[in-house]
Amino acid sequence: MKKHSGDTDKDLSPIRFVKGTLKLLDQRLLPAEEHWLTLDSVDQVARAITDLVVRGAPAIGITAAFGAVIAARRRGDDFSAWRADLEQLNQSRPTAVNLAWATERMLRVAKAHGRLDSDALETEARAIHAEDIAANRAMAQSGSALLETGSGILTHCNTGALATGGIGTALGVIVAGHRAGRVARIFADETRPWLQGSRLTAWELARQDIPFKVVIEGSAAALMASGQVQWVVTGADRIAANGDVANKIGTCSLAVIARHYGVRFMVVAPSSTVDPHMSSGEGIAIEQRDPSEIWRAAGLEQAPAGFDAWNPVFDITPADLVDFIVTENGVHRPPYDFAS
């Protein structure tokens, strides 16, 4: 594995916009290969989001914003065709609200200029990216301040630089806590079926020379019973007004087990992940992906006859199992109210 000492969030950033084209680090190939794709059409950008070339709620929002810039350059004056492009970007994945949040911001800029001003749109996309970097830093500071010295942490999926514009959400808190000397042990769930934990979180932590252990999801209760973790820290794809949290499948199980063992549960997400119009988690669309992802992850070429799979890739953690929600605006505690 290539080691980089003194990494900045910029070194790890998987999204670059250079001379009107979007460059994405293909996360499907990590950690085996660091391969960049160059995209210059909305179809390509939407497909890259759907196919998980880029993933993680804030990262796909930023990607969609740059997709809207590419679309504007191609559409010229055709506003309604551009709006259809925005809708295509919104539809590329259903659960994370960051997509619609980002395209809505792009739409507002276009309306304010009365036309598809691609320079103004590029400025807005870059602002969305820069704001996420700043939000990540603020969350890392306030989230890590909650951790006591000697904390053991279990995290789920990948919520680091690869999933965001900056140093990450939950992983940003964990890394900041580690640097401040408060984190004694880090456990990363492998996160089936795409293995965002054992491929991506492990890759990010190793690049930063931070010690960790990968665990399988099924070990969560044993891990918490062993006393090695005091915190579960995760990101979110959408947070409803009442504090219900949509995040990677398996998150809710961790919250249930954490409550049983007296382990605290912290969710870290920028305000772009909060959906004030969604009153509770019940209304959040949960993405279902192709069942073949499950047997492919197990290394099988195809399913045996009659084998099917249920493959929702997110779940809803009820607000009453969440002890803290950290955004760039500070630390929120129950009862949550993000309606305004």
The residues annotated as belonging to the active site are: 237
From CA 27, how far away is CA 46, in angstroms rounded? 15
- Say whether residue 242 binds ligand MRU (CB under 6 A): no
Give residue 187's identity as a one-letter amino acid code.
Answer: F
- Say whether residue 165 binds ligand MRU (CB under 6 A): no
| Residues 109 to 138 in contact with ligand MRU, rule: CB under 6 A | none
Query: Omega before 211 cis (within 30°)?
Result: no
| Residues 43 to 62 in contact with ligand MRU, rule: CB under 6 A | 55-58
Which one, 10 or 111, has the nearer CB to ligand MRU?
A: 10
From CA 290, how far away is CA 301, in angstroms rounded? 14
The nearest distance, CB 10 to ligand MRU, in angstroms, is: 17
Which one, 67 or 75, has the nearer CB to ligand MRU?
A: 67
Residue from 163, 215, 263, 267 that binds ligand MRU (CB under 6 A)?
Answer: 163
- Say whether residue 247 binds ligand MRU (CB under 6 A): yes
**What secondary structure does DSSP assign to 92-150, as a single string?**
T-SS-THHHHHHHHHHHHHHHHTS--HHHHHHHHHHHHHHHHHHHHHHHHHHHTTPPTT
Q: Please, which residues have CB within 8 angstroms of residue 146's CB and are 6 or more apart in sequence?
A: 266, 324, 326, 331
From CA 55, how far away is CA 64, in angstroms rounded? 11
| Residues 169 to 228 in contact with ligand MRU, rule: CB under 6 A | 169, 196
Which tokens hold the place of 308?
Answer: 């099917």
Q: Which stretch binds ligand MRU (CB under 6 A): 15-23, 62-70, 109-117, 232-240?
A: 232-240
Interacting residues with ligand MRU (CB under 6 A): 55-58, 96, 157, 159, 163-164, 169, 196, 234-237, 247-248, 313
